[in-house]
Amino acid sequence: MSDHRPLPLLGAPQTERRDAARNREALMCAAAALVAEHGAAAVTMDEVAARAGVGKGTVFRRFESREGLMGALLNQSETDWQASVISGPPPLGPGAPPLDRLRAFGRSRIEVTLQHAELIREAGRVGPRSYAAYSFTAMHVRYLLAEIGVTGDLPLLATAILAPLEVPILDQQVRIEEFPVDRVYEAWTDLVGRVVQR
C-alpha cells in the first residue's frame, strides 16, 4: 500500500536522467547554431537532430514540436530581459517614476521584439512559453498603470497598450512600411500619454 515514490520535493528540478540532460544541451546548441547560420525559418528538425548527433524522436520528446524548440531558444533571452525589468537598473528596472518605467519598457520591448522577430514568429503561439511571456508583460504594465494612478479596466487597457508592440504589427510598420523605429516609439509614447491622460 505505502508506495515510496521520492516525493518530488518541488525544489529539485524533477531529476532528469544524465543522458537526457546531455541531449537537451546538445540540441539547444545545435539549434542555436543552425538558427544563427541559416535563419530560424530554414531550420529543419532533421538537421537539428543530425547536428546534435541524436535521433529525431529525441528532439520531439524534449521539445514537443518545432514551435516548442523555437520557444525554448527564445526563452533564454526572454528570461534575461525579464530579469532586467524586474531587478535591473532604472528606468527599466525599479527606482524610476512609473511613467518613466513604462516608457522605457516600451522602448526596450520594441527593440527586443524586432531583434527576435523571426524566432518569435517561428515559435508561434506555443502554449506555455508564449502565454508566460504574455502574462509577464501584461502583469507588469498593469502594475505600472496602477502605480501611475490610471483608472478604468486595467487588464484590458494594458492589453491595448501592449497590442501595438506585437510582432506582426511592428513588422508591418518597420519592415514593410519602413517607418523609422524612433517614430514608432514616439507614437507609442504618445498613445501611452493619451491613455494615462496627460
Is the four-CA dihedral 124, 129, 131, 137 of positive or negative sign? negative
Q: Does 37 bind a second copy (CB under 8 A)?
A: no
Choose between 29 and 187: whose C-beta lies nearer to a second copy.
187
Half-sphere exposure of 184 (CA within 13 A, CB side): 22
Residue for cell digits 528596472?
93
| Interface segment toward a second copy; rule CB under 8 A; list 9-17, 25-33, 87-95, 178-186 | 178-186
H or E segment and range at residue 114: helix 98-115
CA end-to-end distance (rounded Å), the chain: 67
Residue for cell digits 497590442?
163
Q: Which does 184 bind (CB under 5 to 8 A by kind): a second copy, DNA, none?
A: a second copy
Choose between 80 and 186: whose C-beta lies nearer to a second copy.
186
Choose between 44 and 84: whose C-beta lies nearer to DNA.
44
Q: Rounded to whole angstroms, how far apart are CA atoms 43 and 23?
A: 18
Residues binding a second copy (CB under 8 A): 125, 134, 152-153, 156-157, 159-160, 163-164, 166, 168-169, 172-173, 179, 183-184, 186-188, 190-191, 194-195, 197
Residues binding DNA (CB under 7 A): 4, 15-20, 22-23, 43-46, 53-58, 60-62, 65-67
